[in-house]
Amino acid sequence: MTDLTRISVDDVYSAHPFAREILLRLADAGFDAVLIGGVVRDGLQAQLQRQVDFPPCDVDIATAALPEEIRRLFPDRPILGVGEEFGVLVIVAPDGKRYEVASFRVESEYDGRWPAKVDLVRDLATDVQRRDLTINGLAASAEGEIIDLVGGVQDLVAKRIATIGEPSVRFGEDHLRMMRVVALPAVLAERLTQRQPKPFAVMPSRSGISHRRELATNCYVSLRQAELLRGYSC
């Protein structure tokens, strides 16, 4: 039976050795720190013997540490504050690889793409509730132990794409999430089930976004016709 309680962090650290250093420095300083998102999702995909690129090119880390606390822990490394107002820093490793390290946070008052308000928090459970899909809300400890607070493992096994929370809310917050839902099955390279994704049906009909909804729908139809969407139902 496939063990879905952990991912192979040996494979992750072999390709991304400084990711381990980041996690250990944060933990040694008393801050919770986890691998988050695609690296965890695809680690489980690999264990399910699905065709994915693992380890991935990018590794994201989320932590209870605030940006200024992260900076103090890495005085020896260049740090890019590309999204520091959102609690996101990019640490440049000795080999030149870049690691996005994000403080746990909650977001609100979206304009359809970006939140106007971001509050940094200290716990992972609060942070994952702002994320888009259950399979993207999976986290893992530095040792590879899976932390699933949103039912993402079950959805991954079932090849099901599900939002964290109400779909109309998630897609209304950030319209780009619709395109991620469209693209994700193609990236995961499996076979589409008969159940059709319907992210566009729940989009609010507000002035100024109708053309974007139409564009997204047309893109979705084109991808379907090209048989690029494979594997995951919604």
Tens digit of each residue's pLDDT (9 = 90 or more) over 91-105? 999 999 999 999 999
Give percent above pLDDT 90 in the chain: 57
The band of 140, judged by pLDDT with boundaries at 50, 70 and 90, is: very high
Q: What is the pLDDT of residue 232?
A: 53
In the predicted model, what is the mean pLDDT of residues 23-47?
96
Nearby residues of 29 by Cβ (< 8 Å), 6 or more positions away: 65, 69, 73
Q: CB–CB of 106/121 below 8 Å?
A: yes
pTM, rounded to two decimals: 0.80
Residue 62 has pLDDT above 80, yes or no: yes
Nearest to 161 by CA among 232, 90, 75, 81: 232
Q: Which of 76-80, 104-108, 111-115, 209-213 has the highest mean pLDDT?
A: 76-80
Instruction: Tell me which CATH code domain 1-157 carries.
Output: 3.30.460.10
More confident residue, 81 or 201: 81
Q: What is the pLDDT of residue 174?
A: 84
Residue 196 has pLDDT above 50, yes or no: no
Q: What is the pLDDT of residue 109?
A: 79
Tell how many helices (H) and how many strands (E) occur in the chain: 9, 9
The band of 189, judged by pLDDT with boundaries at 50, 70 and 90, is: very low
Q: Domains of the chain: which residue ranges?
A: 1-157, 159-234
Q: Could you give the angle at the alpha carbon of 130 between the alpha carbons of 33 and 164, nearest 5°?
A: 110
